[in-house]
């Protein structure tokens, strides 16, 4: 169903709001949550947080229906985007602009998962995930160390100067740590900018992944990324 609206002085057919679409003006990844919020008149911030929490609870399974909807739902037209009414409130913007609210939401989500895990109401067990991760990580680390020693005995071990210069070679990478959009070192902001998605989704997703893998791997990987990924150039360097 369509309706006539005046856009730029001309009457055009604009898809009615009750049609389902991926939003192009309110998107974090593919615009699915934005489109659902506009279609059902629900705060898109609530939809995103619920979906992220569901992803956490299901250990990533909730990403499958999101991917299906991203492929099945049509993209919103430019005409409809120009004519629609912008929601007066948006919890997502409030979370993005208020670090304390973001950290509070993350703590609530993590605490809720730990509580559900403690009383056995999760469809999986955190201890099982942590045990499976470390069960794979330890053998792989031992294999890597053994290969390095064998190569050293054979005289084919990597030159330590190459490891020392690895940070320098990183400056040829297209990925950069964000200078402006940063909470700690700008890694998540840089990743979000590189893939053109909402940095808040990257931050919440990375925290969830860190919890699911037993905390330590996520902290180590972030520290390595902060060390090896160069920071984007400032105004005086461009």
The pLDDT score that the predictor gives to residue 15 is: 46
Q: How does 157-181 read in b/e, with b if 16+ C-beta sit within 10 Å? A: eeeeeeeeeeeeeeeeeebbbbeeb
pTM score of the predicted model: 0.68
The pLDDT score that the predictor gives to residue 102 is: 81
The pLDDT score that the predictor gives to residue 168 is: 56
The pLDDT score that the predictor gives to residue 234 is: 65
The pLDDT score that the predictor gives to residue 82 is: 78
Q: Locate the domains of the chain by residue range.
A: 2-93, 126-228
Span 172-192, pLDDT tens digits: 667 888 888 888 888 998 998
From first to last of its 238 residues, the chain has per-residue pLDDT tens of 444 444 444 434 444 445 788 888 888 888 898 888 888 888 888 888 888 888 877 777 888 999 999 998 888 888 877 777 766 567 788 887 788 888 888 888 888 888 888 888 777 777 777 777 778 878 888 898 888 888 777 777 666 665 555 555 555 667 888 888 888 888 998 998 888 888 888 888 888 888 877 777 788 889 888 888 888 776 555 4
The pLDDT score that the predictor gives to residue 11 is: 39
Span 65-99, pLDDT tens digits: 999 999 988 888 888 777 777 665 677 888 877 88
The pLDDT score that the predictor gives to residue 113 is: 81
């Amino acid at each position: 169903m369509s309706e006539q609206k005046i856009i730029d002085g001309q009457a055009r057919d604009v898809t009615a709001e009750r049609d389902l679409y991926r939003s192009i003006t309110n998107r974090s990844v593919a615009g699915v949550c934005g489109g659902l919020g506009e279609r059902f008149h629900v705060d898109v911030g609530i939809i995103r947080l619920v979906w992220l929490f569901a992803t956490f609870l299901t250990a990533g399974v909730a990403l499958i229906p999101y991917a299906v909807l991203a492929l099945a739902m049509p993209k919103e037209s430019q005409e409809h985007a120009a004519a629609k009414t912008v929601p007066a409130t948006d919890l997502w913007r409030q979370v993005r602009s208020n670090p304390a609210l973001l950290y509070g939401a993350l703590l609530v989500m993590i605490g809720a998962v730990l509580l559900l895990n403690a009383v056995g109401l999760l469809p999986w067990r955190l201890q099982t995930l942590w045990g499976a991760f470390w069960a794979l990580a330890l053998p792989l680390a031992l294999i890597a160390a053994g290969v390095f020693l064998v190569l050293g005995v054979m005289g084919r071990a990597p030159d330590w100067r190459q490891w020392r210069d690895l940070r320098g070679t990183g400056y040829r990478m297209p990925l950069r740590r964000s200078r402006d959009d940063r909470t700690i070192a700008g890694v998540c902001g840089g990743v979000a900018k590189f893939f053109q998605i909402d940095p808040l989704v990257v931050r919440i997703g990375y925290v969830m992944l860190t919890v699911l893998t037993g905390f330590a791997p996520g902290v180590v990987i972030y520290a390595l990324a902060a060390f090896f990924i160069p920071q984007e150039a400032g105004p005086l360097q461009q």
